[in-house]
Amino acid sequence: MVLQKWTPSLLDKFIILSLSLIVIFYGWLYQGFAQDDAFITYRYAHNLVSGHGFVYNLNEPVLGTTTPFYSIILAMVALISGQEIRLISHLISSFSLWGAGLLLYYLGRNHNALWAGATAVVFITNPLLISAIGMETFFLLFLLLLTLQSYLAGKFKLAGILLGLLILTRYETAIFGGILGVHFFTRRKQLPFWLILSALLVAIWLAFAWYRFGNLIPNSAQVKLVEKEGYAFATGLLIWWAIYANQSFWYYALAPLILLGSYTIIRFKKLTSGYALILIWTIMYFSVASLVAGSFSWYYGPLMPGLAILIVWGVIFGAQLVGQLVYLPKWNLARSSIAAGLSVLVIGGLLMLQIFSAVTGWVKHEGRIIDSREILYRDIVEWLQQNADHNQSLAAGEIGILGYYSHMRIIDLRGLVTPSLLPALLQGRVATLKEVMASYKPDYLLTDEEVLIKAMLHYPHYRPVQTFREGTYILYKRQAPDEKINDVKIAQ
């Protein structure tokens, strides 16, 4: 970690300890949790470690992960440690959350250590952020803030290298490189030649990607831009906020706090350079994502440091405003003391609220927090391991857990790792199924989509062999000419 000379004070140590305890608690609480999409990256890392190369399906060079550098990091650590990739990702994710919180604190402590500490804790306890544990999101935030700290410390070559790795973690963080480049030029009136290091790292990867995969953009990113399902990014943020507001009415207070924080920063400009650049990044990322991105919860992770800054500064302004209006001569309380006490009370309440939401926000299974889909897909994998061959193929709409644990060849009905389906995806789900049947003839097909279940009636050589989750998921098997299958009954 690139930190300027720093002798921690008692307050520093208390905040570091607080961040550590919260992250350890979350790491323990979410030890069984990972989003289904994360397992796509895990499978790339597994194949790297196994010597099969940077592929999802063996001998099929397709760039289906949006985070190539994180995949490589997972593979390297797995190769050295011999540990399971899912566990490695969980530990890296937890450490990265702690590191990102510490860096966010350090970037603001010179202005006000207490409020910077509150910002860091509000950031790491955000319930929407914690749902990304096990993914590359926390690693990305750690790299972003580490790049920023290196830049502000004048270590421009190191910042250039870190920025290159950051972009290879997620391509959209190239926006942050533009922000730093413009900031450098406006402040120093010099061209940011250190960005050449970033460009060189990215160029090496892009050259490899073009040679290996035949394209530069991850196929999964192309598919998500093509498919217009779900909510837009900005709408999704409001929906997620409403979900948490339904858990507790007090979440409605976040909107005025964010507005107050924005007013305070614009009106009084009391920010460190680090926090100012984080807010610029927040605005730029939100603007671009609103144009092209969907509403998956982990897409909002890059906004959380900036939102934490706005929330805390909103609390500060609101408490100071109340302190100016309240006069309590009986207790001889100074207005500043009233404001400070109110700020601590509000921040403490917000932290308790966010921790409560993170604890109760996911399905509990056998005393652990777990993505409910994993229960379903692990049951399906268990059936496949008992009744199918790992060399056979499986077509499915969600492929993360299924692919990682079954090791079967996967045909992705969403096209994330099956790029030839992209034209069919533009024509709809039935056209996609038709292309899958014509081009791939999968041994098994799993779906819960009513439109596909009806369409499967046109393929009599596929018979339903098992149902899951009370019949909502149906597993079909391709029937050989001389094979008899006892197909299961499907409720009409």
| Count of CB atoms situated within 10 Å of the CB of 481 | 5
Confidence of residue 318 (pLDDT cuts 50, 70, 90): confident
- Do 349 and 390 fall into the same domain? no
Mean per-residue pLDDT, 147-174: 97
Residue 271 resides in a domain: yes
- Do 237 and 386 fall into the same domain? no
Window from 310-319, 351-360, 468-477 with minimum mean pLDDT:
351-360
Residue 158 resides in a domain: yes
Q: What is the reported pLDDT for 245?
A: 81
Long-range contacts of 1-7 (CB under 8 A, 24+ apart): 1/99, 1/102, 1/103, 1/146, 1/149, 2/146, 2/149, 2/150, 2/153, 2/155, 2/158, 3/106, 3/149, 3/153, 4/153, 6/106
Q: What is the reported pLDDT for 367?
A: 67
Identify the burial level of 436 via C-beta atoms within 10 angstroms of its C-beta, where 0-12 means exposed, 13-18 middle and 19 or more buried: buried
Instruction: State in Å, rounded, how far the first CA of the chain is from the last one.
Output: 59
CATH code of the domain containing 392: 3.40.50
- Which residues make Cβ contacts (< 8 Å) with residue 213, sequence separation at least 6? 61, 62, 63
- Do 96 and 203 fall into the same domain? yes
Looking at 361-407, list the stretches that DSSP marks H as alpha helix, in order from N- to C-terminal side. 372-387, 400-406
- Do 69 and 200 fall into the same domain? yes
Given 360, 394, 410, the domain boundary residue is: 360
Q: Rounded to an integer, what distance in angstroms lies between the CA atom of residue 174 and that of residue 168? A: 9
Mean per-residue pLDDT, 459-483: 89
φ and ψ at 155, to 5 degrees?
-95, 75
Given 360, 387, 409, the domain boundary residue is: 360
Res. 109: pLDDT tops 80: yes
SS3 category, 425: helix
- Token pair, residue 109, equals 């402590």
- Do 192 and 285 fall into the same domain? yes
Given 301, 333, 360, the domain boundary residue is: 360
Residue 152 resides in a domain: yes
Distances (CA, A) of 88 to 50, 92, 124, 133: 16, 6, 20, 12
Mean pLDDT value across the chain: 89
Name the CA dihedral angle for 375, 129, 302, 223, rounded to a multiple of 10 degrees.
20
DSSP 291-338: HH----GGGGGGGHHHHHHHHHHHHHHHHHHHHHH---GGGT--HHHH
Q: Rounded to an integer, what distance in angstroms lies between the CA atom of residue 490 and that of residue 492? A: 6
DSSP letter, residue 487: P
Window from 42-46, 217-221, 262-266 with minimum mean pLDDT:
217-221
- Do 339 and 384 fall into the same domain? no
Pairing of strands 368-369, 364-365: antiparallel
- Do 355 and 386 fall into the same domain? no
Residue 18 resides in a domain: no
Residue 120 resides in a domain: yes
CB 430 within 8 A of CB 451: yes
How many domains, the chain?
Answer: 2
Q: What is the reported pLDDT for 2?
A: 44
- Do 214 and 135 fall into the same domain? yes
- Do 162 and 254 fall into the same domain? yes
Res. 230: pLDDT tops 70: no
Q: Rounded to an integer, what distance in angstroms lies between the CA atom of residue 99 and that of residue 138? A: 9
- Structural domain including 413 reads 372-478
- Do 352 and 391 fall into the same domain? no
Residue 367 resides in a domain: no
Residue 11 resides in a domain: no
- Do 325 and 427 fall into the same domain? no
Q: What is the reported pLDDT for 490?
A: 61
Residue 426 resides in a domain: yes
- Do 144 and 168 fall into the same domain? yes
- Token pair, residue 171, equals 């391509």
Distances (CA, A) of 102 to 67, 126, 176, 177, 360: 24, 15, 20, 22, 25
Q: Rounded to an integer, what distance in angstroms lies between the CA atom of residue 70 and that of residue 47? A: 14
Pairing of strands 409-412, 393-396: parallel
- Token pair, residue 32, equals 């069984």
CA-closest candidate to residue 126, choices 320, 305, 345, 378: 305
Mean per-residue pLDDT, 166-191: 96
Give this prediction's pTM.
Answer: 0.92
